[in-house]
Amino acid sequence: MRLTVSAHDDTRKLIVLAVDDELAGLDELSHGLQNNPHIHRVFQASDASDALRLFSHDDPELAARRASGLPTVDAVFADIDMPGLSGMEMSRVIAAMNPSPVLVFVTGHAEEAVNAFDLGAVDYVLKPFQQDRLDRSVARVREKLATVAGPPAGQGGAEPVKNDDEVIPVELAGTTKLIPRSSVRWVEAQGDYARLFTTEGSHLVRIPLAQLEERWEKAGFVRIHRSFLVALPLITEMRMGQGGYQVVIGNEEKVLPVSRRHTRALKDRIVGSGRGG
């Protein structure tokens, strides 16, 4: 383990851990993180076991963070495909820590994106990456930290706290695109998959509708039918149709069926949100 690489000498900025079993990949990742003006220190680990040892390391700055109730590092930027303990297995351990650092995956394997976001990762960077792409990841880490604990120490609340908007990875012609949950208007079940309908079109993802219902309930999504999940604030009308109740979504007059099983709960949610219909 290469314990640390000094970056910008400013303790108000982030301390991060870079993990990659390939030396060239570790150097590139660490160099990119050092180049970001919001990074204070970059620790390096060449495998998952070394990375986990950092969380009990006696480095004075890390020990002080733990003593004050902060995570040992602000964020972990990790590869996935590593010998022994994989990056995904390592991240499950890290995600279970309290408090836990923010997770970012930096990898050449796009197929693990769904699992990564299930662990609460804020970003999924595909290799090879450019500096601006890594900088966007650092920005997401800072936004996440601002959401859960206010702005980084010493910044005196200068940056507004932003809402935690989950993103869903979608495969498009070999490229992983991140779809913000806030852009999703409704979701339709298609077997073991779900189709996300946004203002820009639709995207098929391999996530069961029941799983999205559980994850997005607190974000205002409501199940109206065995095949449909809808963003409650976008329902503009609930009416009786030919085969039962229906809802109208937004201004585009999209009409979706409401099953008898979900009618009462939906009415209660609409009334509870302060809207009649």
pLDDT tens per residue, range 90-120 = 888 888 888 889 999 888 877 666 666 777 7
The span from the CA of 137 to the CA of 29, in Å, is 12
Q: Is the pLDDT of residue 51 over 50?
A: yes
Name which CATH class applies to 14-148. Answer: alpha beta
Assess whether the region 14-148 and the region 167-273 belong to the same CATH fold.
no
What does the pLDDT look like over 128-187, one tens digit per residue?
899 999 999 999 999 988 876 544 443 444 343 344 556 676 766 555 666 778 889 999
Q: The whole model's pTM is what?
A: 0.55
Distances in Å between the Cα of 193 and the Cα atoms of 1, 89, 204 are 41, 25, 7
> Which DSSP letter does residue 152 get?
P
Q: How is domain 167-273 classified at the architecture level of CATH? A: Beta Barrel (2.40)
Task: Give exposure, 174-208, as e/b (b: 16+ Cβ within 10 Å).
Answer: eeeeebebebbbbbbbeeeebebbbeeeebebebe
Q: Domain map of the chain by residue range?
A: 14-148, 167-273
